[in-house]
Structures are given as C-alpha cells and as structure tokens.
Structure 1
C-alpha cells in the first residue's frame, strides 16, 4: 500500500491486493457495528486493566436508531443532552460535563456582545465549530445545519431539565418554547420522550409518514415503533 501511494510501478497482482485492501477499508468505514466493536474493545481492555478484573465492560450491545424527521431529531438531542441531569450527576444542563449543550452554552456566553443585535449569520458563526450549528427554522434557503433556533432549543432544554429535577411528572411551563409548538408535541408526551427515549423507541423513529417511507426504502415488511410514534408524536 505504501508503494502504491508513493507512485511506484507495481505488478498487477500487487495492485489487485491494494484494491482488495481498499475495499475492506471502505466497508469498515460505513459499518457502524465494526466501528463500535473497535471502540468498545479498547475501552473494555483499559477498564479491566485499571480494575484488575476480566469480563465484559458494557451491559449490552449498542443500539443504532434512525432519526427520520425534526420531531425525532430534537427529541433524541434533548434526551442525550439531559442524560447527566436525569442521572442526578449534574444540577443544570450547562454544568453537564461531556454534553453538547454545555459546549453550546459556553460558546454562546463567550460570544455575547453588549448592545449588539446578533444576526442569523452571527449566530451560526458564533456556535462551536466542532458541532453542527443551529440554523433556524426550516425555510427555502436553508443552509446545512439543525433546523431549529439555538436560543429556542436552549430554552427548551432548560425548562425540560427543571421539570426532571423537580420531579413534576409531565410538567412544562404554560408558555411552551416554539419548538414544541411548531412540532405540535404535548408537554406530557415531551416529558416521556426526554426521559424514556431508549425504552420507548427501537430502530427508526419519526412520524408515521416518515416511518412508512423509511420502511419502504429498506424493504421492511413491518413498521416498528408505529404505535409509540403515533402516540407520543401526535
């Protein structure tokens, strides 16, 4: 392979070997199972060495879920960002270590300018470069990014986090953030989604139309999650 990259003249059998190797690498790069196996093995070996023990490190196999529309996307994002709050290892979303919402909060605070009215371009450029930016609500000239407003999402996370911390089941302030209004999700259903996303959904997640299109594209005979999606996203 190194000779091939250096531009050396290789015999046909050697070129064939390079092509076979390249195809193996391509298949690995698009294989989530292979990627997770490599990560899990390294972490498990390190943890076992530190704890001087043997055996499996992870409780079970990873789950890969397709997020088919905006509703599923924001629900999963909120579920992940609020993991530390839900596990009672963080008091607020902005103090939750290793979460994207904390990084977004820190970047937003650092980029605030007194007496300056930020434009949409400013909002995008001031967001963390390592994360996909929030680019506002869907429109015709939509740039690449998350189809929500950043301030709206942070408000949603803050209200939801308070609901989880205060143990008020299904409670969200009467003035719901625009995200919930636009996606037409009830406060009670939103609370269930953001605390039980992994147990409520398996496989693809989205409204009925998106789920139907996905199953037809994948040639699935049954639409898993249909009843839960209809109930919680209705």
Structure 2
C-alpha cells in the first residue's frame, strides 16, 4: 500500500523538488543590482529543508538504508560525474548545440550567486537523488532486474528534465545513467548525490569559463 501511494504521488513529488530552483535565478522584476537576497535564500533553503525531510521520511518508510562515507563512494562519484559530463560535452560539440545559459550566468554574477551555487551543488542534487535513486530506483523498482531499474530511472530522469525529446534529453540520459549506475554499484545514496553535485560543478565552471 505504501509503495502504491508513493507511485501515485511520484509526479507530484517531481514537481515539488523543483521549488528550490525557483530561488537560484533572478526573478522577473529583479536585476543583478536590485534583488531580495533573503527571499531567494528562503525559497531555496527553506523548501530544501522541508522537502528533504519529507523525502527522507518516505524513503525510510519504504525501508531505505544508507552506508557511511568511504573512498569507494567518493571515487565512483567522481568517475560518474566526469564521464557523464565528458559525454555530454562531446555530444554538444558533435551536434553543435550551444551550452550557454544566460539566466544562470547572470544569477552567478549577481548578489544571489551564493544561493545559485548552493542550489546547483547541494540542494538539487540531494533532493533529486533521494527521489530518483532512493525512492524510485531502490524502493519502487527494487524488485526488477537491477540494470532494468537503472535504465528506467535514467529515462524518467532525462524526460522530466529535458521537457522535450531532443539532444538535450539525450545528454541528460547519460547523466541519469551515470547517477543510477553509481548508486547501483555503491549501494549508497550519498554516491549519486555527490556525483550529481560534481556534475553540476563542472557545468557551472564551464559556463563561467566560456562566458
């Protein structure tokens, strides 16, 4: 019954974990010099704490467990992040797809840059991996063949983030596969969380470097 309820609530949870990202960009009536820093921090940080607790309770309620940090987890996370971003970078070169993100770049150079960095590197990776790898891959799809669960999780991750089928969705599929495989191999949620955060760090550094 718990698993059925979570399956039905999953699309709603996907929408909810996007709330922290609302604080990472400047709002319509703001500029890089005129903004409400504490409102942005409140939206991102406050929603992260609430949603993180909710997802953690759901995960624990479904029987989820975790393991302590180890060099193995860190190593797998680094490899997953580097490989996924290398593949995405290669695809963008082959397809000549622009990788610029002016809204994020403007936010990073504004006074809310610290909120943007926290959301990209900490808040979003923790919430998304708790939902996708912990709740979806491990608990909802846990009785399937592990690699089938990995593929299904990665596809759902890519489609939800891509919004439309295209090269962007394909690139996100490789990220989803990297995080799902990292979790499948390490059997610890902290591994895909770290991999996701490192991936976002690489993207952010490339964005700043190419600006």
Instruction: Give the TM-score normalised by the residue count of structure 1.
Output: 0.26
Greater helix content: 2
Bigger RCO (CA 8 Å, 6+ sep) = 2
Larger Rg: 1
Instruction: Give the TM-score normalised by the residue count of structure 2.
Output: 0.28
